[in-house]
Amino acid sequence: MIEPIDWLDRWRRTVIERQAQADRWRGGPAREDDFWAGSVARFRELTANMTDDEPFFATLRAAVRPDDTVLDVGAGAGRYALTIAPYVRRVVAIDPSPAMCEALALGIADRGLRNVEVVRGRWPDDAGLVGSADVTICAHAMYWSPEIGPFLRAINERTRREALLTLRVHSVDAWLGDLPKRLRGEGRVPEPVALDLVGALSAIGIWPDLRIVPGYLRSYGSLDELAAHVATLLAFPPDDAPLDFLREQIQPLVSEREGRLWLDGPWRLAGIVSWRNA
Ligand SMILES: C[S@@+](CC[C@H](N)C(=O)[O-])C[C@H]1O[C@@H](n2cnc3c(N)ncnc32)[C@H](O)[C@@H]1O
């Protein structure tokens, strides 16, 4: 007997079991108060280097009108919120990370923007802090929320015209193949990806469009930098990671171009999941 998929439960278990596995491997929860503080520099750089043809931005740009309000859930350093601001009347950017909110405020000041409001809050618990929007976006901010039903309902309730969401097509560490199993004795629990998002939306009565696009292609300055990143993915503490072994194992998985190391293959694909409200 093949059971129907309970998408909301699948999402919940994926998030909880993935987190529990990382905590188990690490020997306890990560200590950082603000989990995102260490990633701010990378997200500020991504924001500074955004281009008009980046697929999610191009989709957003085509969806907005000059008089619109855009709500960005999990805005981070403002990769999309700051870049779309010159094309719309108002942007509301909500994010729970103090470090990301600070980066947003810096970005607003650097660009001299006067139409972006930053709200420090967690979705959907703090959804009451923001009003409705013509277009709502949420880019790569859902991987850590176990209760995706209320998260998506709150987006839908606040969206007057169109919701545009994006997630990876593969888990962030899928390219590691069987390395987690060889090193840790078990495969890495996957994270929720674009297909899970389509399923979760269908479970709350929304049938979205899905478009698969080339996402952000991550590159590294050296094998040492990549090995340190893999150590984080595998929840090794920075001073106790088998870096020599990791370097040896990951070298065949990357190719060198323009003095940098690139993860080629399907790993960069992202899904753009969207729906329109009447
Ligand atoms: C990978 S970053 C993406 C940032 C931005 N959307 C972008 O694409 O550059 C994920 C962001 O989601 C935020 N986030 C995580 N859980 C969230 C939640 N429940 N509500 C709102 N934001 C959340 C984090 O604080 C972080 O800034």
Q: Which residue has the higher pLDDT, 19 or 238?
A: 19
184 shares a domain with 257: no
Burial 107-121 (b: 16+ CB within 10 A, else e): bbeeeeeeebebbbb
- Pick from 218, 269, 229: nearest CA to 45: 218
Do 121 and 227 belong together in one domain? no
Whether residue 226 sits in one domain with residue 154: no
Q: Is the residue at 15 inside a domain?
A: yes
Q: Whose C-alpha lies nearest to ligand 1, atom 16?
A: 141
- Together in a domain, 14 and 44: yes
Side chain identity, residue 229 = H
Length of the chain: 278
- Asked whether the predicted pLDDT for residue 240 surpasses 90, the reply is no
Residue 164 lies in a domain: yes
User: Which residues span the domain enclosing 257?
Assistant: 219-262
d(C-alpha 246, C-alpha 251), whole Å: 8
| Candidate of 136, 140, 193 to mutate for ligand 1, largest count of ligand atoms within 8 Å of Cβ | 140
User: Residue 120 domain-assigned?
Assistant: yes
Residue 160 sits in the same domain as residue 227: no
Res. 247 pLDDT band, cuts 50 70 90: very high
Atom 22 in ligand 1: which residue has the minimum CA distance? 74
146 assigned to some structural domain = yes
User: Are residues 165 and 253 part of one domain?
Assistant: no
Torsion of CA 222, 224, 228, 231, to 10 degrees: 120
Residues 79, 135, single domain; the answer is yes
Number of structural domains the chain divides into: 2
Residue 278 CA, chain-centre distance (Å), reads 27
Residue owning the nearest CA to atom 21 of ligand 1:
74
Does 152 reside within a domain?
yes
Q: Cα(first)–Cα(last) distance of the chain, in Å?
A: 39
Ligand 1 binding site (Cβ under 6 Å of any ligand atom): 36, 43, 46, 73-76, 79, 94-97, 100, 122-123, 139-141, 144-145
- The preferred substitution site among 34, 36, 129, 136 for testing ligand 1, maximizing ligand atoms within 8 Å of CB, is 36
- Quickly state the pLDDT bin for 35 (edges 50, 70, 90): confident
Question: Which amino acid is located at 96 in the chain?
Answer: P
Q: Are residues 228 and 162 in the same domain?
A: no
Tell me: do 159 and 227 sit in the same domain.
Answer: no
* Same domain, yes or no: 256 and 159: no
For 139-183, what is each residue's pLDDT tens digit?
A: 999 999 999 999 999 999 999 999 999 999 999 999 999 999 999
Nearest alpha carbon, ligand 1 atom 27: 76
Sign of dihedral through CA atoms 45, 48, 49, 53? positive
